[in-house]
Amino acid sequence: MAVPTIVWVLLTNRRFVVGIALFLAVVLTGVIGPLLYPVDPLSFAGPMETPPCEKYPLGTDTYGRDVLAQLLVGTRTSLYVGFLTALIAMAIGTVIGAAAGVKGGLVDEALMAITNVTLSIPSILLAILIASYLKVRSLEVVAAILGITSWPWYARAIRAQLLSLREREFIYLSRMAGYSDLRLAFEDLLPNIATYIFMAMVLFINGGILGEAGLSIIGLGPTQGVSLGLMLQWATLMEAFRRGLWWWFVPPGVMIVAATSSLMIVSTAMDEVFNPRLRERG
């Protein structure tokens, strides 16, 4: 198995290590944080708009709620929405892209026509339109809205990758052996583009986290609970940034940027390692 060498190569890449460490820190904040700091993020018990102090490490908001407690639970929520968005978008994109790439012909043309049309309509605008019609939006609904509006570029990329693989010899061999299209797609084609799929997943998770925040700020986020986006919405509503309440609007943004940029750093580092065209000529 070549796995240990790959892991070793990655671990000696400084950018990869920094990125993955930062991302794990964010995940731990979301997963373990709320357990270590078990304060109700939505309790109105505290004093209003208190700057960080001993009792409230990140202060409180206009409604007297603990900002740190919100940040910890919000991180968990946002990561969940991000992962779920990626899952939904990639499921749709993989099926459509693979069907187009493997079947070819009329199926290919019809699917790509749909894809290109959807790709041309900005996904966030479409997400806003859909979300505005839904009165109740759970986290899953928000992820679904973001997922079904963001798959097209991925479907197109998967198709292109598959088309370039299709003419390779091992595919002909499988075809001659009489394997079904499905088996061909899952056993021969998709494993060959696994790193590519991982990088796409990073982009989708980031898209989900940023999309949730974007929808939330304009009042179209999850209708209950706490997320990093909802924190920013409340801060915007109360003009926190115009009134100097930095402890309210800075932390959720820092957390979003930490999560998304750490993933980007990991993905870039992996690209440098696995993509022969990017390797430095020595």
Partner 1 sequence: MVRLGPFARYLLMRAAFLLATYITAITIVFLLPRLIPGNPLALLLTQLYQQAQANPEAIKEVYRTLMEEFGVGKPLWEQYVDFLSRAFRGDLGTSIAFYPRKVIELIAPAIPWTVGLLVPSTITAWIIGNTLGAIAGYRRGSYFEKTVLTASLILSQTPYYWLAMLLVYIFAIKLNLFPAGGGYSYGLVPSLTPEFIADLLWHYTLPFLSIVLVAVGGWAIGMRVLVIYELGADYMVFSENLGVEERKLFRYAFRNSLLPQVTGLALSLGSVLGGQLITEIVFNYPGTGYILFRGLSTLDYPLIQGVFIILVATLFLANFIVDFIYALIDPRIRLGYAQA
Residues near partner 1 (CB under 8 A) are 116-117, 119-126, 128-130, 132-135, 153, 206, 210, 213-214, 217-220, 232, 235-236, 240-244, 246, 249-250, 252-253, 256-257, 260-261, 263-265, 268, 271, 277-278, 280-281
Residue (39 or 163) nearer to partner 1, CB: 163
Min CB(25)–partner 1 separation in Å? 15
In whole angstroms, how close is the CB of 177 to partner 1 at the nearest point?
33
Dihedral sign of CA atoms 92, 94, 99, 105 in order: positive
Which of residues 90 and 209 has its CB atom nearest to partner 1 in the complex? Answer: 209
Structure tokens at 74: 């919000």
User: What type of residue is 246?
Assistant: W
CA-CA-CA-CA torsion sign (131, 136, 139, 141) = negative
CB of 38 to partner 1, least distance (A): 28
Q: Which two tokens stand for residue 207?
A: 């898209």
Cα distance between residue 134 and residue 117, in whole Å: 24
Please say which residue, 8 or 133, places its beta carbon nearer to partner 1: 133
Name, in order, each residue with C-beta under 8 angstroms of 210's C-beta and a sequence gap of 6 or more.
Answer: 256, 260
Nearer to partner 1, 173 or 218 (CB): 218
Closer to partner 1 at the Cβ: 175 or 243? 243
Smallest gap from Cβ 10 to partner 1, in A, equals: 17
Report, in Å, the least distance between residue 101 CB and partner 1.
Answer: 18
Cβ proximity to partner 1: between 142 and 263 the closer is: 263
Q: Which is nearer to partner 1, 47 or 219 (CB)?
A: 219
Rounded to a whole number of angstroms, the minimum distance from the CB of residue 186 to partner 1 is: 29
C-alpha–C-alpha distance, residues 134 and 171, integer Å: 46
β-bridge mates for residue 60, sequence order = 66
Dist CA 136 CA 61 (whole Å): 25
66: left (phi over 0), alpha (psi -120 to 50) or beta: beta
Provide the terminal-to-terminal Cα distance of the chain, rounded to the nearest Å.
Answer: 27
Please report, as a single letter, which amino acid is at residue 279.
Answer: R
Q: In this structure, what token pair is assigned to residue 159?
A: 């198709």
* DSSP 8-class letter at 278: G
**Closest approach of partner 1 to the CB of residue 144, in Å:** 13
| 76 vs 156, beta carbon nearer partner 1 | 156
Compute the distance between CA of residue 272 and CA of residue 267 in angstroms, rounded to an integer. 9
| 248 contacts 67 by C-beta, under 8 angstroms | yes
Q: How far is the CB of 277 from partner 1 (least distance, A)?
A: 6
